[in-house]
Structure formats: structure tokens, C-alpha cells
Amino acid sequence: MTLNQLLYFCTAARFHSMTKAADNLMVTQPAISIAIKELEREICVNLFHHSGNRLVLTEEGEGFYLKATQILSDCEELKMEYVGKSSIRSHVRLGIPPLLSTIFFPEMLDSFRVDHPEVWLELHEYGSIRACQLVQDEILDIGLANLELPDVDKYGTMVLMEDPLVFCVSKDHPMAGKDILDLKDLHQQPVILLNRDSVHNQILISRFAALGISPKIVMHCSQIVTILNFIRQGSCGCFFYQKMLPMFPELVGIPLSVDILTHIGLVWKKGKYQNKGMRDFLKFCRSYYS
């Protein structure tokens, strides 16, 4: 059994495809196939069964995958610690939704880097839904997400804060004087929603559908600067987290008559080996937001 065999096997398991694993590792597809067949022959276990064009781990394959990923992670951490001139020893790939990043970064990130200069945080911008999918596929290590995900129980999670949504408009908007907003007030009113890979977006769409109302959706967008420019024109509004309001004093945040309370936190793949960087980051976040 070689590390290359374990790497080829784990990559094929992650992508559910030998062809995609070959593309990712920049080797030929036969090289992946031969390595896995030799591995199966050596350990006398079938690691995959085929479902159409998709590879699916057998029960024995799932157990082998967990142990193999831990071995590969241990080897990578050992290499990073002892080889090369860089003092960076741990690497954590973190997915962050654009809207949530305004609350959690850069202050928390700066504090973490001061406390843990040896950890390299690699940030990727994705909506909560996409970030969680990439965590499950082990493309990302940790995702910052709206935890109102329908299948959140399949992940390891840590709640960092809870916050209600508020409807944000400019001070010139016709609704700016309202003390409270009923969602029905938004029927046929211009509204900006986040992109479709956002839990935030799914929550609002389901609430609108339950009430039988249809706002005029001006656009789907995740870029804060673009959203703010539209709001400042005075003709439309957008739902933000309440904790964002101090950052944008030119906006008016109108509370909802029925709270939409969201839990925000971190997700990671259950059973995945956590290197020291992941452990340090999770421990830091738990302490920082306690």
C-alpha cells in the first residue's frame, strides 16, 4: 500500500469519478483505475460500486476512506512542519458568504492571525449552500454559513451568533418611516434578494410563498456594494442581518412583525480528520464569540 494509492482512492471518492480525480491530480484515468484495483486486491476489499457513471463507496470503503484521509492529512502536516523554509505549518480552506463576511471579517480574521501566525487561512467566497456542499466534498475544510440549512444535522456545527433579518431601505424610501414591517407589505414592491446559493434567499422565498405574495425582484446579487448602490437610489430594499446596520448608517432597518431569526456559525464534515490549523481556528472562534 502506497501513499499514492491512498491519494488516488480518496480523490476518486471525493469526486465520485475516476475521470474527475485524474483531471484534479493531472494524471491519466488508467493510472487512477490501476492504483485502486491494486489497492483493492491488496486489502481484499471492494471499495466502490458503480451507480451509472458515479462511483459510490461501499460500506467497507467508507470506513477505509476515513482512515486513509487521516493518514494523508498526517503526512501533509508532517511535511509542512519539517520540509522547506516556510514557517506556515497548517493550511485551512475557509468558505465565507459575502453578506456574512461583513459581520465576521476582517476584525476576527486579524485577531486570529495575530494569535496564530503559523496557520494559513485560505478564503473562498461562496453562498452558504455552495460552501456546505464544498465542505462535504472536502474542497473546503470549514464553511461560515447560515445554519438554517435543511440538512444541517449531517455536518459538524458551531453556532457563533443568532441575528434577526431586517428590511433595509434608504432614508428616502416610502417605507422608511415604518416602525415595523409585515411581509405582506412587500407584495409587488421592488426587492433585492441574494443569489440562489444562499440560505438567506431560500428562507425569504419560502416565507413569500407561504403568504402568497410576490415581491418584484429587482435582482439576485451577493455583492454588498452593488446592493447598497441600488438601495441608495430609494426605490427598493433588501433584507440584511440586524448586526450589519451599524456599518451602514445611511440605511434604515425596519424590524419584521414576525421575526426571521437566523443562526450563524461554522460547518465542517463529520468524521473528517482535523489538522492542527482547523482545531486552532475552531477553538479560537468558540472563544472569540463566547
Provide the pLDDT for residue 109. 85
Q: What share of the chain is helix, strand, coil (3-state, %, to 5)?
A: 45, 25, 30
Alpha-carbon span 246 to 226, nearest angstrom = 18
Spatial separation of the C-alpha atoms in residues 197 and 219, rounded to whole Å: 14
Distance from C-alpha of 180 to C-alpha of 245, rounded to nearest angstrom: 16
pTM: 0.70
Please say if the pLDDT value at position 98 is more than 70: yes
pLDDT at 258: 93
User: Residue 80: its pLDDT value, please?
Assistant: 66
Please report which confidence band the pLDDT of residue 89 belongs to, taking 50, 70 and 90 as the band edges. low
pLDDT at 253 over 80: yes
Question: What average pLDDT does range 42-49 have in this prediction?
Answer: 92
Quick one: pLDDT at residue 85?
46
Domains 3-82 and 162-263 share a fold: no
Quick one: what percent of the chain has pLDDT higher than 90?
Answer: 57
User: What pLDDT sits at residue 196?
Assistant: 83
* Cell numbers representing residue 52 in the block: 451509472
Taking the CA atoms of residue 14, residue 78, residue 88 and residue 13 in that order, the dihedral angle to the nearest 10 degrees is: 0
Segment 13-38 mean pLDDT: 89
Indicate whether 76 pLDDT > 80. Answer: no
Mean pLDDT of 126-146: 91
Spatial distance between the Cα atoms of 124 and 93, rounded to a whole number of angstroms: 7
pLDDT reading at 127 higher than 80:
yes
83 pLDDT tier (thresholds 50, 70, 90): low
Say what the pLDDT of residue 229 is.
92
What is the CATH code for 90-159+264-288?
Answer: 3.40.190.10
CATH 3.30.450.20 fits 3-82, yes or no: no
Cα distances (angstroms) measured from residue 4 to each of 10, 16, 287: 10, 18, 38
pLDDT for res 81: 64
Domain boundaries, the chain: 3-82, 90-159+264-288, 162-263
Q: What is the mean pLDDT of the chain?
A: 89
| Range with the poorest average pLDDT among 74-88, 131-145, 193-207, 246-260 | 74-88
CATH code, 162-263:
3.40.190.290
pLDDT, tens digit (0-9, with 9 covering 90-100), for 173-224: 999 999 999 999 999 999 999 988 889 999 999 999 999 999 999 999 988 8
Q: What is the pLDDT of residue 23?
A: 87
Q: What pLDDT, in 10s, does the model give residues 269-278?
A: 988 778 888 9
d(CA 149, CA 128): 8
Look at residue 227 in the predicted model and tell me its pLDDT: 93
